[in-house]
Structure 1
Amino acid sequence: MAKWLVSLDTDKIKQYIYSCDHLKEIRGASGLLDHLNRETTPKLIEHHHGSLIFVGGGSAMATFSAKDDAQKFADAVQKTYLEETGTATISSAIVEYQPDDSPSVTKKVQPTAFNLALREASVRLQQAKNSGRGHQVITSAPIFARCQRCGQFPIEKVIRIGNQDFKVCRVCFTKQTIPSSLYPGDRLKTSVFARQTLQDAGFPDLIEDLGDQSQPKNFVALVNADGNNIGKIIENYIHQEADLIALSSILTETIEYALIEAIKASMGTSASKIPIIPILIGGDDVMFLTPGHLGIPIAVALCQNFKHKFNQLVQEKTKDNPSLFQSNPPEAVMSAGVVIAKTSHPLFALDELSEELLKSAKQHSKELSSFGIISTIDFRVITTPTANPLKKVRQTEFRIAEDRFATSRPYAIDTLNDLARPSWEDVYQAILRLKKENFANNKIHSLQNILRNRSLLQAELDLMNFIAHITEKQHEIMKEINSSMHLNQCNLLFLTNPLNPAQLISPLPDLEEIYEFITEVHHDPD
């Protein structure tokens, strides 16, 4: 008997969340979308006689025994999203398929009818999203006064924020009045992994609260993390509905565990506030604000925990049910982009920067595929009110000459023994060693100035002069650190990029850029 697979995905989530650059509206928007995704969508599936397979991260999948029910469900979800949010839309794809008999472990039937339906749904869903069929909102007209919060939509309401009345649009009013219990991250406190540490603490209300905790003060980090190639896992490892249901459960539990354990590792035992403000938590996506000095440590722990927990849960589920994934269990890792900036920096700009860094980190993970499935990270510190796009910075400000770059970013998070290139762990340990020895930051800055000389010969002469003016102990420390970061194979400033032997790269500018934001906070997964 035929079935109909319905695949859903929320359109332009970030555009809806950041359409108003105020934290309360951002958290309200994210909380509302999460509520519609996790609570409302399953109820609509049940109401239209469907079976839920997957929900999370703004996406959902369900199967129906009747085409009419599938179409009515898709229409109902689209209508509900628009009514509840005012502007957010969701795209859908419906694919008919004939279910196979469950393939045995030995037959290895691939691809199955369900797998083919998943692939077809993915193509159709992307076509629907690219078509721009979503609801178009008139954002301005001569006779309308614009919202005093987002500046986009016509005024419809008046709301009091603090001691001031604001004339706002319906969209911002909805975001402002969402109960805090629906904010992203609230369910973390009720997770089985939270235990007493998180259950008794609260989330900060203001970005300034995070800035006050930061070392140095008034800096905040936006962490943007995402599982690598989850779409490919669905395409290559999901053969039956049970596989996707299992994967959905694994991802949900993995994200909760990974983030909670990373947070707990950064908190003091008497902390009354959880040191993050969650922006987005769903599927395999995580985005949050945290004090500047905690951005990279929490991101690193999150990625390490994700890999550890995902693979552990896959092994447990396949042991209990050997037919899952046709006895070919998937592996997954996470990558992260971290941008550190002043608390006054616009949030939408931080989001764009973090997205660029995340894409860079994920691309590096692909470049390292011959070494296994590798977690990666990229980061950037912004101290100015505006910032150039990442690609422009790396190709101009960090390019010393045609073949020399004043950076080694992005980084593999953990050391790869077969790769003569520094990992983030190598850079982190180097910073801790320098701080332990009270190595002056201005000396690291001097090294960066030396390596930025366009003449490599002049840079080497300046380096000799630099070494002549530091103590013997400082020189020994530098040699040890340079060796751990593979700088000794070329000279004390650069190393040959093993992924592109025509290039010389250096981790020293990266070390200096992040130096003051690194403390002893560090975590290894259980």
Structure 2
Amino acid sequence: MAKNETFEEILKENRVLVSIETVKIKDFIFSTNKLKLIRGASYLLDYMNQVEVPRILRKYGLEYKAEELVNKIYDISDDDEFLKQIDEKIDNAIDKRILYVGAGNAKFLVESKDAAEKICKEIKELYREIAPSAKVVAECYEIKENEKLWDGIDELVQQTAEKKSEGFPMLNIDLPFALKCDLSGTEPAVISYKNIDEDLEKIEIHRSGYPWETTDEKENGKGTVEFKDDTKKQKDNTVKAIENVIKEGKLTISEESAVKIKYSNKMIKDDENEIGFYSIIKKALVDKEKIGKMGIKRKIDELSSKEISKLADIHLNTEIDDYAVGDSFIGFVYSDGDGLGDFLKNVKKVYTTEEKYLKFMRKFSVILDRNTKYVLREVIKKMYNDKKFIKKKTILKEDGKPKYEIINGEEKIVEKSIIGEFLIVGGDDVCAVFPADLALEISSEFQKQFEEKMKKFTEIENKKNEKKNPENITSSCGVVIAKAKTPMFQLFDQGLKLQKLAKGKRYNENQNRKKDAERTGYIDFQVIGNEGNVDIKEYRKKWYDKFDKKEENKNKLHISKRPYSINKLNDNVSESIDELIKNVKDLKSENFPNTKIRYIYDLKKDETKTDNEKIMESINILSKMSLEEIQVLDEVWKIKDKIKLDFETGNEKFKEFFDNIFDILEIYDFIQKDEKSSEKEDNKSGN
């Protein structure tokens, strides 16, 4: 299609909308608790969405080169300049008929229903062959005469939802003779450790989609899916990777598990397409000092994916236990954008012609995805530079022995930093595993900066238009700090529940806000011990949310302020997560023992004592503390003017003191001391 066609011409000639949507992503990614397979499933979905789907679109004349566009302007930190570059360059990189490709979804326009149906058929077949058990819904809708593009999109969304509600066929393997996969337990086993090579050939694992190039090839190939065989080296790598997983335990696995192992290995060893968040974070963590010592003179952008993997200080082949902190706790973060529905409803009020609407939606999807990845990268990069990622792990060779490298003539074991497992990063979603003592800080900082980026984008767009979009896009998050042995699907479920509680708080706050008041996201968190399936709502029933004025909460404990807002709002609405983290760091700066916090917490919960008795006991506790400890307690809880005996009124105020003590107690071991605190501790110990 000619790039010089106007949007008016595009919309006149192309009146069939197509939607490709990957569904049941959680079931696909978390079908097993083995991190290698989870990593492979996540990478495979990115690969399908960013490589294989665009290959089919290219066959039908729809070029999609978003990576090329974003990579060229990715590092522009100035928002005005970045958005200007997007406006100038997007039409050369992405076909004008494409609204969106990313985060498992795609929407685009084509000229006929026949072309739409062929594309849908090919994409579904491609998923079946390359990503078995991944569920994809591909639907098309013919926009009626005089029907607006945005109304057509609404109709297609409804049509897609109806298709999803029909469900997907399932194979019954709960039969006496059915052999189940030893890794997932939910799929038929077809690959045995005894016949790895033959079994893998049978399932045709060694291939990928055909990379269409010439016009004749594309034209002749329409309506059929063709494949390209992997190279011998790629085949050998796949066999070896699967063999390493199943041979020692003499396992029998499914086709689905084998494919996930293949793509987990591909992400680590052969990420030639440089897709997904790993390709971004690897470049950010390239050891520039090592480049100099190794005599490499090329720029980072000129290095191959393999060279970047070698030079980046991030371990790509971790186990879940590698992220464990303290008593084997890991951090699980699940963040999702807020307000997109309301924001997009207003878009058609602001951009009242189809041409303007299409132009905006195309760039909005690219900007949203870029901002999510850019902000997460910047947050991790800063924490890395601040030396927050403490743990390192040795890189092993194929034989399991440590890998060595020569630097300045000296042989050294190769060790790399434990950073994170990035399970979903794209669109407005972030789902990741981090060390438990960094998860809250990473999430809160990501949400804050994401909010700032999207706010700036809206402000810049509003300046261009007479009508303004009053909504600002934010992000709400659930953070689970749990034992490393907790099944990953339970971590996801609990993270989702906490995320919904955070979103619920945002919704309630929105009901009471002034129309032009700025909104912010929220974060909720929970530390979970041995029971990964604990009912969080039931567990919290005795808590009192000081911002909930219902009469039924009158006698409940004032021990938590969750969920916390990302940016500070009115003190009567919520408290910011920054304030909570600062409180913990202030306490840690004085090396305040959490046993004393626990003692005050237990005192608050004690139903056998009156409030006056609790105050007397708390005064006794305070009398044994140093002046510095009392000062930091006062900074956190303003206790000096509160802790007073009152025998005349009976005093029922103690329950309102230390009103977020449980929040502080829970996360005390999961917030790192800042550098100044550590220096203070060293000075006290005489080091």
What does the per-residue CA deviation read over 1:316-358, in whole Å, with 9 as the maximum and x for residues that have no partner?
5666xx36x9654752111111111122221111111111111
Structure 1 residue 464, shift from structure 2 partner: 2.9
Structure 1 residue 440, shift from structure 2 partner: 2.3
Residue number in structure 1 paired with 2:267: 180
Residue number in structure 1 paired with 2:89: none
Residue number in structure 2 paired with 1:379: 525
Q: Does 1:87 align with 2:87?
A: no
| SS of match in other structure, 1:136 | coil
Distance 2:330 2:22 in 1: 28
Tell me: CA distance 1:487–1:258, structure 2 relative to 1, closer, same or farther (3 Å).
farther
Residue number in structure 1 paired with 2:417: 273
Distance 1:395 1:382 in 2: 16
Distance 1:418 1:341 in 2: 30
| SS of match in other structure, 1:144 | coil
Tell me: CA distance 1:255–1:171, structure 2 relative to 1, closer, same or farther (3 Å).
same
| SS of match in other structure, 1:267 | helix
Distance 2:425 2:252 in 1: 30
Q: Does 1:228 align with 2:320?
A: no
Tell me: CA distance 1:74–1:460, structure 2 relative to 1, closer, same or farther (3 Å).
farther
Contact 1:147 1:169 in 2 (8 A): yes
Instruction: Give the counterpart of 1:451 among 604, 607, 618.
Output: 604
Contact 2:424 2:431 in 1 (8 A): yes
Q: What does 1:121-160 align with in structure 2 at a 5 Å threshold?
A: 121-132=156-167, 134-158=168-192, 159-160=242-243
Contact 1:6 1:63 in 2 (8 A): yes
Which shifted more, 164-173 or 116-125?
Answer: 116-125
Instruction: Give the counterpart of 1:296 among 433, 440, 443.
Output: 440
What does the per-residue CA deviation read over 1:80-128, in whole Å, with 9 as the maximum and x for residues that have no partner?
222222211112343332698xxxxxxxxxxx81222222222222222
Instruction: Give the counterpart of 1:393 among 539, 563, 568.
Output: 539
Distance 1:196 1:365 in 2: 40
> What TM-score do you get using the length of structure 1 for normalisation?
0.84
Contact 1:224 1:288 in 2 (8 A): yes
Distance 2:612 2:365 in 1: 54
What does the per-residue CA deviation read over 1:197-252, in whole Å, with 9 as the maximum and x for residues that have no partner?
7972223422356335x3x2532101111111223323321552111111111112
Instruction: Show structure 2 runs of 5+ residues with no match.
Output: 1-11, 63-96, 193-241, 289-307, 352-356, 390-415, 547-551, 644-651, 676-687
Contact 1:222 1:339 in 2 (8 A): yes
Aligned partner letter, 1:380: Q
Structure 1 residue 387, shift from structure 2 partner: 3.7
Structure with higher Rg: it is 2
Residue number in structure 2 paired with 1:502: none
Tell me: CA distance 1:408–1:153, structure 2 relative to 1, closer, same or farther (3 Å).
same
The alignment covers a number of residue pairs equal to 492
Residue number in structure 2 paired with 1:19: 31
Q: Does 1:71 align with 2:117?
A: yes
Which shifted more, 220-229 or 428-437?
Answer: 428-437
Residue number in structure 1 paired with 2:505: 364
Residue number in structure 2 paired with 1:469: 621
Q: What does 1:485-496 align with in structure 2 at a 5 Å threshold?
A: 491=653, 493-494=655-656
Residue number in structure 2 paired with 1:53: 99
Contact 2:334 2:499 in 1 (8 A): yes
Distance 1:460 1:260 in 2: 51
Structure 1 residue 390, shift from structure 2 partner: 1.8
Tell me: CA distance 1:68–1:487, structure 2 relative to 1, closer, same or farther (3 Å).
farther
Contact 1:210 1:275 in 2 (8 A): no
Distance 1:189 1:295 in 2: 17
Q: Does 1:480 align with 2:565?
A: no
Residue number in structure 1 paired with 2:85: none
Structure 1 residue 164, shift from structure 2 partner: 3.8
Distance 1:423 1:206 in 2: 33
Instruction: Show structure 1 runs of 5+ residues with no match.
Output: 101-111, 496-504
What does the per-residue CA deviation read over 1:346-390, in whole Å, with 9 as the maximum and x for residues that have no partner?
111111111111111111122222253112101111121444122
Instruction: Give the counterpart of 1:40 among 52, 57, 66.
Output: 52
Contact 1:87 1:135 in 2 (8 A): no
What does the per-residue CA deviation read over 1:298-325, in whole Å, with 9 as the maximum and x for residues that have no partner?
0011101211222334445666xx36x9
Tell me: CA distance 1:281–1:237, structure 2 relative to 1, closer, same or farther (3 Å).
same
Structure 1 residue 454, shift from structure 2 partner: 4.3
Structure 1 residue 260, shift from structure 2 partner: 0.5
| SS of match in other structure, 1:161 | helix
Aligned partner letter, 1:203: H
Contact 1:54 1:61 in 2 (8 A): yes
Tell me: CA distance 1:431–1:146, structure 2 relative to 1, closer, same or farther (3 Å).
same
Tell me: CA distance 1:235–1:148, structure 2 relative to 1, closer, same or farther (3 Å).
same
Which shifted more, 19-28 or 48-57?
Answer: 48-57
> What TM-score do you get using the length of structure 2 for normalisation?
0.66
Instruction: Give the counterpart of 1:410 among 546, 560, 563.
Output: 563
Tell me: CA distance 1:256–1:468, structure 2 relative to 1, closer, same or farther (3 Å).
same
What does the per-residue CA deviation read over 1:2-59, in whole Å, with 9 as the maximum and x for residues that have no partner?
6111223211100111111110111111111111112222222332355321012111
Query: What percent identity do the matched residue pairs reach?
Result: 24
| SS of match in other structure, 1:374 | coil
Aligned partner letter, 2:314: G
